[in-house]
């Protein structure tokens, strides 16, 4: 029997890899719905290819063109309500969320309440509202299977069951393109340089986050919620080859690691087929050809992101949501070449200092804190 899935963020890098998995295992999956952003033509093509029941884009700007391109049998929509409708359809088994940013928060939360398993690639959802979301996951009895390669690796090492038998989560990180760049050269870092990631092919926002180690910092917060871990139980380790995707150290001192070539197809296929495994579409790794694996500690003086994230996690409340929102604004201005690389951290620190902190926020208060943080960050940049 086929598993019915919805793919949110179908036109991005996660969407591309998800489509590869579905094509490779076409007898295992039925794509009920796809949601793209502004790339309405590509979204319509995927809706047609997978004969989807639903298809949506982020806004109504190109909706008339979009709706004319999807099949007549497909329910075309736009915005948050369209996402929620497809995610909560009674026939859907799993929602794969690959939307960058916070747009997937409410639809994913509604999908959880409707009893859908989640394949989560959008780390911002748990960074913003980890406590609320995981509470609903436990209440609904659904699976929250991480798609990020690092969290997926941890999930595999724990066999989906986080318990008291582990001592440390070792979250690996490529180190980004500036791992060996002296801090005195940081003022000369341009958008073009920052978008050249040494091992992964990703979208622009996540690539910049990798360059600042912000991506790993958001993943640290996400890991805490996914695996019910304390701040000091998670350690970030630089691993330039991106072959070991993460490790778990257990109380007896043994360490389990998950290895594969750096391609998002691997964790996406695992998440979609869990708890079963099927033949993959890539050649096995060749250990006889020689494999050099190195590990080192991050330089927190050059890259303060991880320590800022740990402070936000310790503080709790709205701090992680503000941390994420300020970074999104800063990265957007950096990509527009209206903010320097070094100033990204200035924006984050200023916003965290100035926002109206709430200790035990509701979903509405989290969304309000996110909006307030964006205004503070933008105001700081424009001044």
State the fold for domain 3-147+264-282: Rossmann fold (3.40.50)
**Four-point Cα dihedral 106, 107, 111, 114, nearest 10:** 70
pLDDT tens digit string along 143-164?
999 999 999 999 999 986 767 7
- What is the CATH number that goes with domain 165-255+298-382? 1.10.1740.10
Looking at residue 135, what is its pLDDT?
Answer: 95
Give the separation between CA 288 and CA 220, rounded to whole angstroms: 33
Q: Do 3-147+264-282 and 165-255+298-382 show the same overall fold?
A: no
At 1 the pLDDT is: 87
Please measure the distance between the N-terminal and C-terminal CA atoms of the chain and give it in whole angstroms: 58
Distance CA 383, CA 350 (A): 12
pLDDT, tens digit, for every residue of 11-61? 988 999 999 999 999 999 999 999 998 899 999 999 999 999 999 998 888
pLDDT at 200: 63
**pLDDT in the model for residue 383:** 85
Token pair listed for 39: 């790339």
As a whole number of angstroms, the distance between CA 306 and CA 302 comes to 11
Q: Given this model, what pLDDT does residue 22 score?
A: 97
Residue of 20, 22, 24 lying closest to 4 (CA atoms) = 22
By residue count, the chain amounts to: 383
Distance, CA of 302 to CA of 310 (rounded, Å): 16
So what's the pLDDT on residue 38?
Answer: 87
Per-residue pLDDT at 201:
67
CA distance 133 to 308: 23
Cα separation of 325 and 103, whole Å? 12
Residues of the chain with pLDDT below 50 are: none
Q: With 0-12 CB in 10 A as exposed, 13-18 as middle and 19+ as buried, what is 280?
A: middle
Share the mean pLDDT of the chain. 94
pLDDT attached to residue 269? 96
Tokens of 150: 């690092």
- Helix/strand/coil for 37: coil
User: What is the reported pLDDT for 320?
Assistant: 97
- Between the CA of residue 300 and those of 89, 288, 310, 379, what are the distances in Å? 45, 36, 12, 27
Strands 3-8 and 29-35: parallel
Would you kindly state where each structural domain of the chain is located, as residue ranges?
3-147+264-282, 165-255+298-382
Q: Residues with Cβ < 8 Å from 366, sequence gap 6 or more?
A: 128, 129, 132, 318, 321
Q: What is the DSSP string of 250-292?
A: ETTS-EEEEE--S-THHHHHHHHHTT-----SSPPP-GGG---
């Amino acid at each position: 029997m086929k598993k019915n899935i919805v793919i949110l963020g179908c036109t991005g890098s996660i969407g591309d890899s998800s489509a590869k998995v579905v094509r490779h295992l076409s007898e295992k999956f039925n794509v009920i719905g796809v949601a793209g952003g502004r790339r309405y033509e590509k979204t319509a093509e995927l809706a047609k290819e997978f004969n989807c029941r639903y298809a949506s884009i982020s806004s109504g700007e190109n909706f008339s063109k979009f709706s004319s391109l999807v099949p007549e049998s497909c329910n075309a929509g736009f915005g948050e309500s369209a996402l929620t409708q497809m995610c909560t359809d009674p026939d859907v088994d799993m929602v794969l969320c690959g939307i960058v940013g916070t747009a997937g928060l409410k639809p994913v939360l509604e999908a959880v309440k409707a009893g859908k398993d989640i394949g989560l690639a959008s780390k911002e959802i748990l960074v913003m509202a980890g406590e609320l979301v995981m509470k609903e996951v436990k209440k609904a009895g659904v699976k929250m299977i991480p798609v990020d390669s690092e969290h997926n690796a941890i999930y595999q090492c724990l066999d989906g069951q986080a318990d008291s038998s582990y001592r440390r989560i070792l979250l690996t990180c490529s180190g980004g393109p500036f791992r060996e760049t002296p801090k005195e050269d940081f003022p000369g870092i341009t958008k073009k340089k920052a978008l050249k990631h040494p091992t992964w092919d990703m979208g622009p926002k996540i690539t910049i986050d990798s360059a600042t180690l912000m991506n790993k910092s958001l993943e640290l917060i996400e890991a805490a919620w996914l695996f019910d871990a304390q701040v000091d139980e998670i350690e970030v380790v630089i691993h330039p080859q991106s072959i070991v995707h993460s490790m778990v150290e257990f109380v007896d001192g043994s360490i389990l690691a998950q290895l594969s070539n750096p391609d998002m197809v691997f964790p996406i296929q695992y998440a979609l087929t869990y708890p079963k495994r099927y033949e993959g579409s890539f050649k096995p790794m060749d250990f006889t050809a020689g494999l050099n694996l190195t590990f080192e500690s991050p330089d927190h003086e050059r890259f303060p992101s991880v320590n800022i994230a740990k402070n936000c996690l310790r503080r709790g409340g709205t701090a992680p949501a503000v941390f994420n929102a300020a970074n999104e604004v800063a990265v957007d201005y950096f990509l527009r070449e209206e903010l320097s690389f070094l100033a990204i951290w200035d924006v984050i620190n200023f916003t965290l200092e100035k926002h109206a902190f709430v200790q035990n926020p509701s979903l509405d208060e989290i969304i309000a804190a996110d909006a307030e943080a964006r205004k503070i960050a933008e105001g700081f940049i424009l001044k």
